[in-house]
Amino acid sequence: MIMNIAARVLSGPTGLSEQELLQLLEQPPNPEWGDAALPCFVFAKSRRMAPQNAAAEIAEELAQVHGVQAEAAGPYVNLKLDPAVYAPALLEQIGAEDFGRLNLGQGKRLVIDMSSPNIAKPFGIGHLRSTVIGAALYRLLAETGYETVSVNHLGDWGTQFGKQITAYKRWGKDEELAGDPIGESLKLYVRFHEEAEQDASLETEARDWFRRLEEGDPEAQRLWRYFVDISMQEFNRMYKRLGVTFDHALGESFYNDKMKPVVEELRGLGLLEESDGAMVVRLDDLDLPPCLILKTDGTTIYPTRDLATAIYRKKEMDAERLLYVVGAEQKLHFRQVFAVLGKMGANWASQCEHVPFGLMRFEGKKMSTRRGKVVMLNEVLDEAVSRALAVIQDKNPDLPDKHMVAEQVGIGAVIFGDLKNNRSNEVDFSLEDALRFDGETGPYVQYTHARIKSVLNRLQGQKTDGEAGRNAEPDTGPQQQIAEGDTSLLGDAGWSLLKQLSRYREALERAVDRLEPSVMARFALDTAQSFNRFYHHERIEDGGPLRLRITELTAELLARSLYLLGLHAPNQM
Ligand code: ARG
């Protein structure tokens, strides 16, 4: 928005269109230099002079323009907008109903594959990242005009069920399973892998059980259902705490009867080739290894299911964009699947997009699912909540609803601790860091929001029951006309805050364009920091309607960005 204003101001004197100027203008590396910097190399050509002379000339021409201060600095002109002239308009735009309403998606249906844990295997940290990043993207995309549909592509089929059933048949005890289904089935799972190292017959037995399952054997089916159900109960408990819902839970098993036509089509197109007894689609021309379609025993495999899945999402669900929020280690898998779709003549293969993310370590540990050295995620969440409760107890012992707020802050810390990172980066997650109320954390943003709410409450006697943010539309405060003269009351910190608030739209646009929730997390952090500087420098109560208004707008945008990231914004904490 600042750049738009700068482009408008410059258009007359430079003779360039606003569009052209927007391409040219840069953010000065140091905000003290100004709000926008215009590189003058293009003008050097047209004016036939050295760039620094062109810059000096343009700066001089701009001296006449009301509302800007221009200063040449080498080949650049640095521009400062005058708050007295622009603050009222900015305030009005930021407060307007349609501020932050972008229609990038134009109603296009977008199917997002997220979370997608494997049943009869523990929920891994990768699945947590997929859930949290996926949920944030889901909201960001919906916010910007996509019709979003989320699918939990549960790994509810595959050889692990053969293993689970084998372990159950050998060592399972119904009483113990009934008492602690998750813990017991995990123990069985771990024991299988330990004993299978000594005893090869276990693997054979497991393969046999999986074959029976695929053939529809009633006992195998019954046990499969049972293990699916207990895993789902545990997953749902976690989804609930994370505030994540899915439009569909369609596991891999859903595609069991949808793969044969795909395999037939591949065969008909002459794409299937034999390779060491298995059937593959060769992708040599694309410099990719062959995509495995049928194993030597004729059974289907992960890529086969993803082919059927993509076709289903396109044809039956009418998707115009298909996103897969899955760890970066599956990059090759998705390139292969999308390449096979392309070879099948699906002109929509280009609408499929893998949205990868990096590995996350918890307190330096890599989670290993097999060995049982698992950091169980519900336990991590419990720990986060109890630490949040301890901080709250210390800071604000009289807070009502302490436990609810601790849950919102503890879970929020985990979500934000993930999302603030560029998703492709590897993340070293530390609970202690994620929970710091004074660090770059979710609790810091939540705390800033709550602090604003209490200031507003004190000044306006506003009601602050309940909460803003997640599950609640931010409230729009009273609209007041702010006159030009008042703006001196903003001070430097207030003007910086106002400019920061105006970047919300750009942040939203960029987050959606790059499928990168961290852009929104960064916006929330910068806004909170900017507000805290303002709060430190200016007494809000002495600033008349202007300081109050900017404070209200800050609370609204903080609540909105927290909501988009999947965090609650408690009104008190
Ligand atoms: N269940 C898989 C895993 O844990 C992730 C599935 C991702 N989605 C997909 N359509 N392949 O590795």
Q: Which CATH number belongs to the domain containing residue 544 in this structure? A: 1.10.730.10
- Assess whether 346 and 256 both reside in one domain: yes
Mean pLDDT of all residues in 322-338: 98
Task: Give helix then strand counts, H and E, for the chain.
Answer: 22, 15
Q: What is the mean pLDDT of the chain?
A: 91
Q: pLDDT band at 474, cuts 50/70/90?
A: very low
- Assess whether 155 and 264 both reside in one domain: yes
Specify if 100 maps to a domain. Answer: no
- Assess whether 470 and 544 both reside in one domain: yes
Specify if 214 maps to a domain. Answer: yes
Evaluate if residue 472 carries a pLDDT over 80: no
Number of domains composing the chain:
3
ipTM: 0.99
Output the pLDDT for position 194: 93
- Assess whether 357 and 390 both reside in one domain: no
- Assess whether 72 and 116 both reside in one domain: no
Q: Among 100, 78, 80, 6, which residue's Cα sits nearest to residue 495?
A: 80
Evaluate if residue 368 carries a pLDDT over 80: no
- Assess whether 514 and 472 both reside in one domain: yes
Instruction: Give the pTM.
Output: 0.91
Q: pLDDT band at 484, cuts 50/70/90?
A: low
- Assess whether 175 and 39 both reside in one domain: no
Output the pLDDT for position 214: 86
Q: For 129, phi and psi rounded to 5 degrees?
A: -60, -45
Q: Which of 14-23, 73-82, 176-185, 339-348 has the lowest mean pLDDT?
A: 176-185
Evaluate if residue 370 carries a pLDDT over 50: no
Does residue 336's CB lie within 6 angstroms of at least one atom of ligand 1?
no
- Assess whether 393 and 343 both reside in one domain: no
Q: pLDDT band at 365, cuts 50/70/90?
A: low
Output the pLDDT for position 367: 52
Q: Which of 152-166, 310-324, 356-370, 481-495 holds the top average pLDDT?
A: 310-324
By three-state DSSP, how is residue 104 classified? Answer: coil
Specify if 346 maps to a domain. Answer: yes
Mean pLDDT of all residues in 542-567: 93
Q: pLDDT band at 81, cuts 50/70/90?
A: very high
Evaluate if residue 372 carries a pLDDT over 70: no
* Ligand 1 atom index nearest CA of 309: 10
Evaluate if residue 374 carries a pLDDT over 50: no
The string of DSSP letters for 510-540 reads HHHHTT-HHHHHHHHHHHHHHHHHHHHHS-G
Does residue 304's CB lie within 6 angstroms of at least one atom of ligand 1?
no
- Assess whether 357 and 381 both reside in one domain: no
Output the pLDDT for position 40: 93
Mean pLDDT of all residues in 392-401: 94
* Ligand 1 atom index nearest CA of 326: 7
Evaluate if residue 79 carries a pLDDT over 70: yes
Predicted confidence (pLDDT) per residue in 498-541, tens digit = 999 999 999 999 999 999 999 999 999 999 999 999 999 988 88
Mean pLDDT of all residues in 326-350: 97
Specify if 469 maps to a domain. Answer: yes
Residues contacting 519, CB < 8 A, separation 6+: 507, 510, 511
List the CATH number of the domain containing 291: 3.40.50.620
* Residue ending a domain, choose from 336, 361, 386: 361
Mean pLDDT of all residues in 306-314: 98
List the CATH number of the domain containing 17: 3.30.1360.70
- Assess whether 325 and 388 both reside in one domain: no
Q: Which of 366-370, 457-461, 466-470, 500-504 has the lowest mean pLDDT?
A: 366-370
C-alpha distances in angstroms, 235 versus 45, 62, 238, 253, 385?
63, 61, 5, 18, 18
* Residue ending a domain, choose from 64, 81, 98: 81
Q: Which of 77-81, 480-484, 525-529 holds the top average pLDDT?
A: 525-529
Evaluate if residue 343 carries a pLDDT over 50: yes
Specify if 372 maps to a domain. Answer: no
- Assess whether 383 and 526 both reside in one domain: yes
Evaluate if residue 63 carries a pLDDT over 90: no
Specify if 104 maps to a domain. Answer: no
Residue of 112, 116, 305 with the most ligand 1 atoms within 8 Å of its CB, for mutation: 116
* Ligand 1 atom index nearest CA of 154: 1
Specify if 180 maps to a domain. Answer: yes
Q: Among 279, 276, 253, which residue's Cα sits nearest to residue 266?
A: 279
* Residue ending a domain, choose from 81, 99, 123: 81
Buried b (16+ CB within 10 A) or exposed e, 53-69: bbbbbbbeebeeeeebe
Does residue 118's CB lie within 6 angstroms of at least one atom of ligand 1?
yes
Does residue 153's CB lie within 6 angstroms of at least one atom of ligand 1?
yes
Q: DSSP class of residue 270?
A: T
Distance CA 316, CA 335 (A): 23
Output the pLDDT for position 543: 72
Task: Print the domain residue range for 40.
Answer: 2-81
Specify if 90 maps to a domain. Answer: no
Amino acid identity of residue 15, one-letter, is G
Q: Which of 64-68, 343-347, 486-490 holds the top average pLDDT?
A: 343-347
Q: How many angstroms is it from 20 CA to the middle of ligand 1?
A: 44
Distance CA 549, CA 543 (A): 10
Evaluate if residue 470 carries a pLDDT over 60: no
Predicted confidence (pLDDT) per residue in 122-174, tens digit = 788 889 999 999 999 999 999 999 999 999 999 999 888 999 999 999 999 99
Evaluate if residue 373 carries a pLDDT over 60: no
Q: Which of 3-7, 291-295, 338-342 has the lowest mean pLDDT?
A: 3-7
Q: pLDDT band at 84, cuts 50/70/90?
A: confident
Does residue 305's CB lie within 6 angstroms of at least one atom of ligand 1?
no
- Assess whether 468 and 542 both reside in one domain: yes
Output the pLDDT for position 85: 87
